[in-house]
Amino acid sequence: MPKPRLTFFCELEAGALQALFADPAVLDELVALEASVSLGIVDLSTERAAVVHRLNEADVPIIAWQLLPKEQGYWFNLDNAAQAASRYVEFRRWTAEHRLRWDGIGLDIEPDIREMEGLRADPWQWLPTALKRALNEERLHRAQMAYSGLVGQIRTDGYRVDSYHVPFIADERKAGSTLLQRLAGLVDIVVDREVLMLYSSLFRPRGPAILWSYAQDAQSVAVGVTGGGVELTEDTPPLSWDEFSRDLLLARHWTDDIHIFSLEGCAQQGFLPKLLDFDWEQTFTPPLATAGQVETWRKTLRAGLWASAHPWLLLAGAVLVLGCTRRRKRR
């Protein structure tokens, strides 16, 4: 079995990014691993461009992971398609000015970061917004059209398009629903490679089971978190080496395309040298018992999503059952 393709997410401010690559071992290890980097475009600075040049010179493939200022939601979502398109135009100018090369463009589809922070503080304040969104299908339709146009433009510019999605989008597709997208601000768009973010550190203790279950539906699996990134929850320690290596083997069972969050976390914990001689053929124990529980939960979720997409069928069925019950009582 050949080694999987590895892509490391890197989400650092310009100064920290330069400090990371000030250590020549980081670049050398990326080259030795034949790995790619999905670089968060946190800013369009000269310092970031300088790091991209170093990666270009070393022939390390780089995906330009598109991000917005936090006051615009940070990640791409239903309500900031216009800002996403404008940001991409600015990114093209920056790329041309500094003569940067990219292996692809990454679109990170997640809820608005401001809403995520608000939910953490007071979940109930989001309820009125959720009720309005559940009934607003036009909002989703407009966003889908806008993002489809953006994907088309990126492809016209000669780039492959990747998307980074929360795993529950897979259940919504199977159910034929759009409720989760309307509620959470997600957008299901057609791209060239879709990556499901299956970060077991965020779902302890069932993280491995969730990874195992959803990896079956993924083109590429993202494992993590090894450290770094936006912190939205407290007391969520990064993966240890044992947890990280376990997740790599679980993901490798289903796909040969693995993303890792994050490069800076792996560098800080000393994981990169260990990956150089990592045994991808070693035996592992799948979390089958807890994965079965996750599958049951997913079936329940899909049933609820299907019901949300077919309310009239449910109503007709309820009326039919009620009518039959009354007839039996009369007899």
Place of tokens 């503080």: 121
CA 181 to chain centre: 14
For position 311, what pLDDT does the model report? 62
CATH number at residue 174: 3.20.20
pLDDT digits (tens, 9 = 90+) for 51-85: 999 999 999 999 999 999 999 999 999 999 999 99
How many domains, in total, are found in the chain? 1
Distance between CA atoms of residues 244 and 223, nearest Å:
8
For position 323, what pLDDT does the model report? 45
Distance between CA atoms of residues 104 and 87, nearest Å:
16
Q: Is 87 helix (H, G, I), strand (E, B) or coil?
A: helix
For position 172, what pLDDT does the model report? 96
Alpha helices in 166-240 (DSSP H): 169-175, 179-184, 207-215
Residues in the chain with pLDDT values less than 70 = 1, 121, 123-127, 130, 231-234, 311-331
Q: Which domain holds residue 202?
A: 5-330
For position 330, what pLDDT does the model report? 56
Q: What is the pTM for the complete model shown?
A: 0.92
For position 320, what pLDDT does the model report? 44
